[in-house]
Amino acid sequence: METENPSTLTPQQAWDQLIAGNRRFASGTSSHPHLDEARRSQLTGGQNPSAVIIACSDSRVPVELIFDAGLGDVFVVRTAGPILGESVMGSISFAVNALEVPLVIVLSHESCGAVAASVNALEAGSIPDDHRRVLVERVSPSILMARAEGKKEVFEFERRHAAEVASQLMQRMPRLRSKVTSGEVGVVAARYLLEDGLVEAVAGHGIDVGPELL
């Protein structure tokens, strides 16, 4: 993959731009940018996204749509959960270090099946006997952490999971952590609300997202 010049957006500007797009989406006033022939032609020479977003694979969470983004605007990594693994972190590393995106977003969502399965496994000992077990194994630590903090509601587990994945990214990716410390990159944990279409910021690192929800 070839790249264009690095984005001139700061981490804060990138977040503010995306959250403004989300507000347009939620209010039914999406502008549907960067979807025309000229944009497709421009992108044949490379890409210059403003953010990398690790999100759940859930079909109800179409990342580009909920941020009112178009072709080439965001670099999206999706897994059920979302959960971390070497391929996920490799994809994030490519976005941060090769494409030089200024923002990393970990996006959980309302009514997440992986979170629900993990809660069920912890409460009833019902662990899937197929590859869904991986999801439970990767999400359960977030649930246990939330419970240790006195949290009991599913929405609190979903928020904590996003925050924990964001924290794990910085712990396990030294170059990302260094770029957050220097102000080159911001990391945001967020949660998408299915009912009203809004994205709520849960926690921010190297960036101001307003009052944190943990």
- What secondary structure does DSSP assign to 53-71, as a single string? EEEE--TT--HHHHTT--T
pLDDT digits (tens, 9 = 90+) for 35-82: 999 999 999 999 999 999 999 999 999 999 999 999 999 999 999 999
Q: What percent of the chain has pLDDT over 70?
A: 97
Fold of 11-205: Beta-carbonic Anhydrase; Chain A (3.40.1050)
The answer to whether the Cα torsion of 188, 14, 209, 19 is positive or negative is negative
- Alpha-carbon span 34 to 54, nearest angstrom: 21
Name the residue with tokens 């020479």: 45
DSSP 179: H
Q: What percent of the chain has pLDDT over 90?
A: 93
Domain definitions of the chain by residue range: 11-205
Q: Look over the chain and give the mean of its residue pLDDT values, rounded to a whole number.
A: 94
Specify the range with the lowest mean pLDDT, choosing from 6-20, 36-50, 137-151.
6-20
Instruction: Supply the pLDDT for residue 7.
Output: 58
pLDDT digits (tens, 9 = 90+) for 149-200: 999 999 999 999 999 999 999 999 999 999 999 999 999 999 999 999 999 9
pLDDT exceeds 70 at position 1: no
